[in-house]
Amino acid sequence: MFNKRSDKKAQAAMEFLMTYGWAILIILVVLGALFYLGVFSPNISTSCTPFPPISSCDIKLIPSVAPAADTFELSIVYPPTINNVALFGWDSTANPAETDVASIEFDVGGADCDVDDSTDADRALVSGTAKTFTCTNVRHGLTTGDQYAGDVVLEYQLQGSTISHKIRLSITGTVEEEE
């Protein structure tokens, strides 16, 4: 009698382990397939969200051979209702600096931006046209394939005005290979 009772307990334990063991194995296989397909780490599409008076923008972040010399390209288009715009920027401490067009604030690593075009004429934008600003020495700590999200902070003045306005462009994307 004692033997039959023990056999029934053993059979119940074995059925329990087999039933839930298979269920756990199936869950692990499904999770492995989802990780393999990249469901839990999706690619972030490159995007730049403009705010008025900027009508559109495009971005590209490229690491170069030297980690301290990465480049960040920002293309900005102004709507036809604005006659002319000059851009000014500030560094990561938010102090005005005439030599910078934009400062880039990344969620990872932080960054500063030294702009190649440093004269007022190079920073002026004509209505309805695009201007690309290339920032060198962007110290963001990212490598090719890394994903990023952050803001580009711009300060601008309308032509003939002495009033400065600040706007943020929200950016996301993946660091691209240098061409």
pLDDT in tens, 110-164: 444 544 444 445 555 555 666 666 555 555 566 777 777 777 777 666 666 777 7
The predicted model scores a pTM of: 0.50
Cβ partners under 8 Å of residue 77, min gap 6 = 54, 55, 56, 57, 128, 129, 130
Q: If you average pLDDT over each of 24-33, 101-110, 112-121, 167-176, which comes out highest?
A: 24-33
Q: Using CB atoms within 10 Å of the CB of residue 147, give its burial: 0 to 12 exposed, 13 to 18 middle, 19+ buried.
A: middle
CATH architecture label of 47-174: Sandwich (2.60)
Flag the least confident range among 31-40, 55-64, 70-79, 92-101.
92-101
Task: Give the 3-state secondary structure of residue 15.
Answer: helix
